[in-house]
Amino acid sequence: MNWICGLALTVVAVLATGAAMAEVQGVQESGKLVLRGGELVVRYDVAAGTFTAACGKRTFVTAGRLFGRSREEGRGIAKLEPGKPLGAGKAKLIDVRDTLGAGKAVEVSWDDGRVVTLALYDCVPFVCLRGSWRNTGDKGLMLAQVTPLDADVDCGAPAGDLAAFGPEGCYDLPAERTNYAFAAVASRKTRAGVVCGFLSHHRGSGVVTVRRGTAVPAVGPAGVSPAAADGAKGSRTNDKTQGQDGPGTHGQDARATLEAQCQYGRVEVAPGQQAAGEVAAIGWFDDAVAGLETYASCVAKAHDIRLGHKIPDGYCTWYHARALDEKRMVELAEWSEKHLKDYGFCLLQIDDGWQVSSRDFSGYNPKGPYPSGMKPTAEVIRRHGMLAGIWFIPFGWDHKREIFRDHQDLFVQKPGGGVYSVHWAGDCMDCTNPKTISFLREQIARMTRGWGYNYIKIDGLWTGMAVNILYPQPHYRADDLGQVVLHDMSKTQVEAYRTGLKLVREASGADTFILGCNIAQNMRTMGGSVGLVDGMRIGPDVGANWGGILSCVLPTSHMWFWHGKVWYNDPDCLMLRSPLTLDQSRAWGTVIALLGQMNLVSEWMPALPAEKLEVVKRTMPNPGLTGRPVDLFEHNRPQVFQLTWGRGERAIPAGAGLRGDDQPTLNDQRRDTVGLFNWEADKSATVGVDLRELGLSDGAEDRYVGFDYWENAFVPPFTGKLWAALKPSSCRAVTIQRLLDRPQVLSTSRHVTGGLVDLVELAWSDKDAALSGRSRVVGGDGYELRMSAPPQPRAWKALSAEVSPADKQAGVTIRLSQEGPWVRVAIDSPATREVAWTVKFERAKTPASDGPAKVARLQAQAPDARTAKLSWEGSACWYLVIRGDGQTATTAASSWQEGTLRPDTQYEYSVQAFDWLGLPGQIATAKLKTPALPPPPPAPPAPQVYLDELKPLRVSQGWGQTRTGKSAEGKPLRLAGKTYQRGIGTHAAGQMTYKLDAAWGRFVATCGIDDEKADDERASVVCRVVVDGKTLGETPVLRAGQIGHLDVKLPDGAKEIRLETTDAGDDNKADHADWVNAGFLRR
């Protein structure tokens, strides 16, 4: 199969490897002008004025009309009847050469000045079109828009199986929907389909409209259907296959219409002049996910984009502390260099609040958070080896400020007079005015070249285009394009915007990283920003809550293909603090890491719990590769993500060594890190993916093995499908590879991708029966290699592990352990360094003859009223644990535990062993009885000021609403059989924040699971007291029938108290918690 039809290869990758592409040929055949480039063929019918396009045997454009629906608007344009094609123009074959490369084109022109080029390029897998308009009259012409393409497309599937995709995500094939910049229509089942989008937005803003196909075929000027006019072979409705000339195979049900339109708003065209159009592209892909990635590569090629900056990972002040302040920023710089820099952390960025006033960035506020000025803080950050970042709005200012008293002409004007202003971002600067450019150059140069900030986050981008804010929804709407007055009316608003972005680059310098923020404010800035920024915020604000994360998962998933090609995606900040659970933080961090996007934390990291800080360490640095959503056309919020990698595994032939002149061959073993996600906040789910959907062979003999990163568990050999049972709002990150008949490294502990950022070299020697490699190890961070050693047909045993003499001399230690077929190798280094290691193995001389896999000496213990701990001896590949009531779990370890049992209850467990081939072995059984609950501790004194009398500053929770004097379900407050009159009922994950009175000296409360969930074993909470960001008290895990007491001394000068109800690390099902007799004692 040729990559042009949809293999997961991008244009950039193909060109980089020097892959040969067919040179485009242009010929005239039987009244048609034909372009051929590899398997891509375009036929333009000169008489009908329509064209078809095919990729191999698939004719995906069955009737393409140039200026087909005549949607052009403007002064001096002759109107045609709606839906009537323009008709045949004058057509000829021409050569083309531009940033897309060399090729051939059909140029069609009409007497009224319209011109369209229909082109194929040697190295671009799209049909490219550019519509322009020459003013052939003697009066000025004003254009609002140009529509070069209106095409019926056949996606090879019934309409019910088709999905459309655009910036707002995946949706059912609509009657009509307009998308900014691009759209795709594909089969939900096979992902095969058509991708259409604009490659350029220099003067106009490209949009693509998707329409459901109708039963009436488009009619050409002579009354001939496009099928007949194109010489169709066979029936549109019955044929399962089609020839190269065929217009389609699945009938009207398979047809959609795609219209590409370039919107100028308004552009003046003088007599004899031409308004150049933007380049639109349409192509067929066997995998439209890969097609969107290829589209982004073509956009990058059209703009000659070469991303040179390192992808920054670091910290943004905004969600943590607005702009922070100079004292804490110095503290954070010192702490980050010591604790996070070796993990790839390299940026500290100051957000809104440093400037002299809300929309005046001409200086800092001397009474604000940086009274010493902005330059000293930048110097401290850079001295600690990190990028110094600063936020501002370059094109949105306050025209009422004194500096603009005599300079109102620097701003865009309204048609009726007055400055054009937009919600939130301020008054729009007019970048068609040279005076505005001069003013902005001075301001931006001061921040970057003067103060030393080498990372700038430029917000309110749409103000540079002077259109309305459309935040946060990405769907198309009217926005004042063409409705404003610019200093230079020969320029469009898109040109004004791009002029402004070019000025930002010029003023700040090539070494400054420019982050645009953000396209969610108005999606026109997506196309208009291409080639002029290094990074781009692609979604709305996130927030420290699960709903905020879910809103950001959508654009993070939908815009993945831009990343690493056109710019670096910023999905918004990695959030970690309560009420977010550890599972939720891991899920958000894992998406960011697998898609390879910018990872910016907005938390006070020195005070983060250790397990939350681990999420930061294990998702940084950016892995340098871009993953993809696998089920993009099945779920609008994808559940499966895939990052494919493989640095190369050197296969050493028998008899060869690792020294001397040996030249080992490169045997690149593919690895896939697969993320499985359950986005539901209150429902468990089983999520899986077929291996063939990952592009892996899935025959009966194709077996794979892996490692589950967050679960820290080996994944035994499997075939066909990878799946996992997931708790609410959680994920799995599993790195898999094809199973070998000798030891192999499955994963490492360093990063969620399982080795991508740290495994520098990996080699196997048949002669020495040894795995050796080099790993980047962070000093003081315990590093582990996870390996498999097949036990069949002849078992492998790990004998020894060693590091190089130089590493040993530097204090690096290594040790190994093996349990059945699973090997763990632990490396500890006092300093960050690249460690060379070798693990030697021995293989049994005779096949294993131990019989079925065994389980011996099974022991079951109940350390407390809710927990069961099982342990046993055995060397099986994996084990199935079965509780007496039918609940099951699997593990590759020889131990297992759960924590959701009932007190004073007897349980029976069975453990069955399975071998390397998946064959069941012995079963062992054991029983245990959980102890009764201990009596509750003594209660603290009653409060003098009750919590239920106070009004909270902020409240949030995972389900329902807080209730005063009642439980989460509105019933009386009851804990462990006792009813309470005073208190608040809530639900995990919840927060209640109150302002503290200086007279209050202690906080007291009694907490627990309300008795309305006494019989629900899922219920579990931890109640926590946080004062001014520091945790001062918390209960143990509380389950039904258990009571926790809190008696916390309040520090002098404390400002706020936050009462948190967490889900105890499992999920928040049935987590109905009461805070009773809660309140304050006076000093």
Residue pair 312/598 in contact by the 8 Å Cβ criterion: yes
Give the pLDDT confidence score for residue 244 in this predicted structure: 31
Residues 6 or more apart from 299 whose CB is under 8 A from it?
A: 197, 199, 200, 305, 530, 565, 566
Strand-pair partners of 457: 391, 515
What fold is seen in the domain 3-302? Answer: Beta-galactosidase; Chain A, domain 5 (2.70.98)
Residue pair 36/117 in contact by the 8 Å Cβ criterion: no
CA distance 74 to 72: 7
Give the pLDDT confidence score for residue 861 in this predicted structure: 97
Residue pair 224/239 in contact by the 8 Å Cβ criterion: no
* 639-784 and 856-929, same CATH topology: yes
Report percent pLDDT > 70 for the chain.
Answer: 90
The pLDDT confidence band at residue 6, using thresholds 50, 70 and 90, is: very low
Give the pLDDT confidence score for residue 446 in this predicted structure: 99
Give the pLDDT confidence score for residue 8 in this predicted structure: 26
Backbone angles phi, psi at 444, to 5 degrees: -70, -40
* Interior/surface letters 429-439, b for 16+ CB within 10 angstroms, e for the rest: bbbbbeebbeb
In this predicted model, what pLDDT tens digit does every residue of 137-157 receive, in sequence order? 898 888 899 999 999 999 988
Is a pLDDT exceeding 60 seen at residue 663?
no
Residue with tokens 């891509």: 40
What is the chain's alpha carbon radius of gyration, rounded to the nearest angstrom? 32
Residue 868's identity, in one-letter code, is A
Residue pair 367/357 in contact by the 8 Å Cβ criterion: no
Residue 548's identity, in one-letter code, is G
In this predicted model, what pLDDT tens digit does every residue of 635-658 receive, in sequence order? 999 999 999 998 544 333 333 332
CA distance 495 to 528: 8
Give the pLDDT confidence score for residue 85 in this predicted structure: 59
Around Cβ 610, how many Cβ atoms within 10 Å? 6
Is a pLDDT exceeding 50 seen at residue 552?
yes
CA distance 343 to 198: 38
What fold is seen in the domain 639-784? Answer: Immunoglobulin-like (2.60.40)
In this predicted model, what pLDDT tens digit does every residue of 442-455 receive, in sequence order? 999 999 999 999 99
Residues 6 or more apart from 661 whose CB is under 8 A from it?
A: none
Is a pLDDT exceeding 70 seen at residue 555?
yes
CA distance 645 to 136: 55
In this predicted model, what pLDDT tens digit does every residue of 720-764 receive, in sequence order? 999 998 988 999 999 999 999 999 999 999 999 999 999 999 999
Peptide bond into 472 cis (omega under 30): yes
In this predicted model, what pLDDT tens digit does every residue of 767-791 receive, in sequence order? 999 999 999 999 999 999 999 999 9
What average pLDDT is seen over the chain? 89
Residue 116's identity, in one-letter code, is V
Residue with tokens 């502390």: 321
Residue pair 102/37 in contact by the 8 Å Cβ criterion: no
The pLDDT confidence band at residue 213, using thresholds 50, 70 and 90, is: confident
Query: Among 492, 524, 560, which Cα is nearest to 170's?
Result: 560
The pLDDT confidence band at residue 564, using thresholds 50, 70 and 90, is: very high
In this predicted model, what pLDDT tens digit does every residue of 897-946 receive, in sequence order? 988 788 899 999 999 999 988 889 999 999 999 998 777 778 899 999 99
What is the average pLDDT across 406-430? 98
What is the average pLDDT across 833-837? 99
CA distance 1078 to 233: 80
CA distance 458 to 514: 7
In this predicted model, what pLDDT tens digit does every residue of 807-817 receive, in sequence order? 999 999 999 99
Three-state SS at 446? helix
Q: Angle 1001-1005-1009 (CA atoms, 0-180°, nearest 5)?
A: 160
Q: H/E/C letters for each residue in 607-623?
A: HCCHHHHHHHHHHCCCC
Residues 6 or more apart from 670 whose CB is under 8 A from it?
A: 644, 645, 646, 737, 738
The Cα diameter of the chain in Å comes to 98
Residues 6 or more apart from 198 whose CB is under 8 A from it?
A: 181, 182, 206, 208, 260, 262, 278, 279, 280, 281, 527
> C-alpha dihedral over 289, 290, 296, 300, to 10 degrees?
170
Give the pLDDT confidence score for residue 78 in this predicted structure: 54
Is a pLDDT exceeding 60 seen at residue 84?
no
In this predicted model, what pLDDT tens digit does every residue of 85-137 receive, in sequence order? 567 889 999 999 999 999 999 999 998 889 999 999 999 999 999 999 899 98
Is a pLDDT exceeding 80 seen at residue 614?
yes
Burial label for 352, CB within 10 Å (0-12, 13-18, 19+), is middle
Higher pLDDT, 380 or 80: 380
Q: Which CATH superfamily is domain 313-486+493-519+526-619 in?
A: Aldolase class I (3.20.20.70)
Q: Angle 929-932-933 (CA atoms, 0-180°, nearest 5)?
A: 135
In this predicted model, what pLDDT tens digit does every residue of 47-64 receive, in sequence order? 999 999 999 999 999 999
Q: Which DSSP string do the residues of 630-675 spell out, in sequence order?
A: SSTTT-SS-SEEEEEE---EEEE-TT--SSTT--PEEE---EEEEE
* CA distances for 425 relative to 471, 551, 834, angstroms: 12, 22, 48
Higher pLDDT, 585 or 228: 585
What is the average pLDDT across 528-544? 97
What fold is seen in the domain 856-929? Answer: Immunoglobulin-like (2.60.40)
Is a pLDDT exceeding 90 seen at residue 67?
no
Give the pLDDT confidence score for residue 71 in this predicted structure: 56
Query: Among 1067, 1018, 1065, 1062, which Cα is nearest to 1040's?
Result: 1018
Residue pair 727/684 in contact by the 8 Å Cβ criterion: yes
Give the pLDDT confidence score for residue 961 in this predicted structure: 85
Is a pLDDT exceeding 60 seen at residue 248?
no
Give the pLDDT confidence score for residue 12 in this predicted structure: 33
Is a pLDDT exceeding 90 seen at residue 1030?
no
Cα 973 to its chain centre, rounded Å, is: 42
What is the average pLDDT across 1008-1032? 91
What fold is seen in the domain 945-1082? Answer: Jelly Rolls (2.60.120)
Higher pLDDT, 1074 or 268: 1074
CA distance 166 to 224: 33
Give the pLDDT confidence score for residue 480 in this predicted structure: 96
In this predicted model, what pLDDT tens digit does every residue of 320-371 receive, in sequence order? 999 999 999 999 999 999 999 999 999 999 999 999 999 999 999 999 999 9
Residue 144's identity, in one-letter code, is A
Query: Among 510, 499, 561, which Cα is nearest to 536's?
Result: 561
Give the pLDDT confidence score for residue 653 in this predicted structure: 33
Give the pLDDT confidence score for residue 850 in this predicted structure: 62
In this prediction the pTM is: 0.85
- Give me the residue spans of the domains in the chain: 3-302, 313-486+493-519+526-619, 639-784, 856-929, 945-1082
Give the pLDDT confidence score for residue 960 in this predicted structure: 83
Residue with tokens 């007190």: 903
CA distance 100 to 297: 11
Residues 6 or more apart from 416 whose CB is under 8 A from it?
A: none
Question: Tokens at residue 859, please?
Answer: 């022991």
Question: Tokens at residue 526, please?
Answer: 């997506």
What is the average pLDDT across 459-475? 96
What is the average pLDDT across 677-685? 90
Give the pLDDT confidence score for residue 596 in this predicted structure: 98
Is a pLDDT exceeding 50 seen at residue 30?
yes
The pLDDT confidence band at residue 69, using thresholds 50, 70 and 90, is: low
Give the pLDDT confidence score for residue 903 in this predicted structure: 86
